[in-house]
Amino acid sequence: PHDNHDTDKQRNPMTNWTLAARAHKMNPSVIREILKVTEKPGIISFAGGLPSPKTFPVDAMLEATQRVLTQDGRSALQYAASEGYGPLRDWVAHDLKKQGMDVHADQVLITTGSQQGLDLVAKILIDAGSRILVETPTYLGALQAFTPMEPDVVSVDSDDSGVLADDLRAKAGQGAARARFIYLLPNFQNPTGRTMTEARRAAVAAAALATGVPVIEDNPYGDLWFDTAPPPSLSSRNPEGSVYLGSFSKILAPGLRLGYLVAPPALYPKLLQAKQAADLHTPSFNQRLVAEVLKDGFIERHVPTIRALYKQQCEAMLAALDREMAGLDFQFNRPAGGMFLWARLPEGVDAVGLLPKAVDRGVAFVPGAAFYADHGDPRTLRLSFVTASVDQINTGVAALAQAIREYRT
Q: Which residues bind ligand PMP (CB under 6 A)?
A: 49, 113-115, 139, 141, 185, 190, 218, 220, 247, 249, 254, 259
Q: Is the CB of 362 or the CB of 367 nearer to ligand PMP?
A: 367
The SS3 of residue 284 is helix
Q: Which residue is nearest to ligand PMP (CB)?
A: 113
Write down the least CB distance from residue 194 to ligand PMP, Å.
12
**Torsion over CA: 147, 250, 383, 243 (sign):** positive
Q: Is the CB of 217 or the CB of 324 nearer to ligand PMP?
A: 217
Write down the least CB distance from residue 39 to ligand PMP, Å.
17
- Do you find a cis peptide bond into 53, omega within 30 degrees of 0? no
The SS3 of residue 12 is coil
Q: Is the CB of 84 or the CB of 259 nearer to ligand PMP?
A: 259
Q: Is the CB of 88 or the CB of 185 nearer to ligand PMP?
A: 185
- d(CA 140, CA 115) in angstroms, rounded, equals 11
- d(CA 54, CA 305) in angstroms, rounded, equals 10
What are the angstrom distances between the C-alpha of 228 and each of 55, 133, 223, 314? 20, 29, 10, 15
Write down the least CB distance from residue 120 to ligand PMP, Å.
12
Write down the least CB distance from residue 393 to ligand PMP, Å.
21
Q: Tell me if 362 sits within 8 A of 402, measured CB to CB.
A: no
Q: Is the CB of 145 or the CB of 168 nearer to ligand PMP?
A: 145
CA 118 to chain centre: 10
Q: Is the CB of 137 or the CB of 362 nearer to ligand PMP?
A: 137
The SS3 of residue 343 is strand
Q: Is the CB of 24 or the CB of 36 nearer to ligand PMP?
A: 36
Contacts of 80 (CB under 8 A, 6+ apart): 281, 284, 287
Q: Is the CB of 185 or the CB of 205 nearer to ligand PMP?
A: 185
Q: Tell me if 127 sits within 8 A of 153, measured CB to CB.
A: no
Write down the least CB distance from residue 115 to ligand PMP, Å.
3
- The values of phi and psi at residue 179, to 5°, are -55, 140
Write down the least CB distance from residue 51 to ligand PMP, Å.
9
Q: Tell me if 123 sits within 8 A of 145, measured CB to CB.
A: no
Write down the least CB distance from residue 288 to ligand PMP, Å.
18
- d(CA 348, CA 57) in angstroms, rounded, equals 45
Q: Tell me if 111 sits within 8 A of 259, measured CB to CB.
A: yes
Write down the least CB distance from residue 220 to ligand PMP, Å.
5
